[in-house]
């Protein structure tokens, strides 16, 4: 298992409560908005980034009752794990990526 796969498995295990999952999807939308808003108003970017932390940490304190996944993986890999987790759920990529095997010949 790669380091990313291990980190993502830890992320998924740390996010089981449906409301906490919804809050984390919201934080990912806010993070994407923060990048876009950086080109328009840095204050809105800052607001989005603060809200991502409030919602994410609040979800763990109030609903999940565990520590955020980034406590174990402090090098930023959790941002990628969180984004890929959300994109898989939003666009239904889980079955596609789960069944994909580059070593098989489909001819």
Q: What is the mean pLDDT of the chain?
A: 84
User: For the residues 14-24, what does the mean pLDDT come to?
Assistant: 90
Residue 43 lies in a domain: yes
Residue 104 lies in a domain: no
Q: Which two three-digit tokens encode residue 15? A: 């996010």
Q: Which two three-digit tokens encode residue 56? A: 């994410």
Give residue 70's pLDDT band: very low, low, confident or very high (50, 70, 90).
confident
Give pLDDT, residue 74: 76
Q: What torsion do the CA atoms of 52, 4, 61, 21 make, to the nearest 10 degrees?
A: 70
Q: What is the pLDDT of residues 32-62, one digit of tens each?
A: 999 999 999 999 999 999 999 999 999 999 9
Residue 106 lies in a domain: no
Q: Which residue has the tokens 């298992």?
A: 1
Residue percentage of the chain with pLDDT more than 90: 40
- The domain containing residue 73 runs over which residues? 8-99
- Checking if the pLDDT of 19 tops 80, the result is yes
Higher pLDDT among residues 50 and 74, named by residue: 50
Domain count, the chain: 1
Torsion 63-71-6-77 (CA) sign: positive
Residue 1 lies in a domain: no
């Amino acid at each position: 298992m790669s380091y990313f796969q291990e980190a993502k498995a830890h992320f998924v295990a740390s996010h089981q409560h449906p409301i906490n999952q919804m809050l984390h999807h919201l934080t990912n939308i806010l993070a994407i908005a923060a990048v876009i808003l950086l080109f328009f108003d840095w204050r809105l970017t800052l607001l989005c980034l603060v809200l991502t932390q409030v919602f994410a940490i609040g979800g763990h304190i109030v609903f999940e009752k565990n520590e955020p996944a980034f406590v174990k993986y402090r090098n930023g890999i959790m941002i990628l794990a969180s984004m890929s987790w959300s994109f898989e759920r939003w666009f239904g990529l889980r079955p596609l990526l789960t069944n994909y095997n580059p070593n098989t010949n489909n001819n």
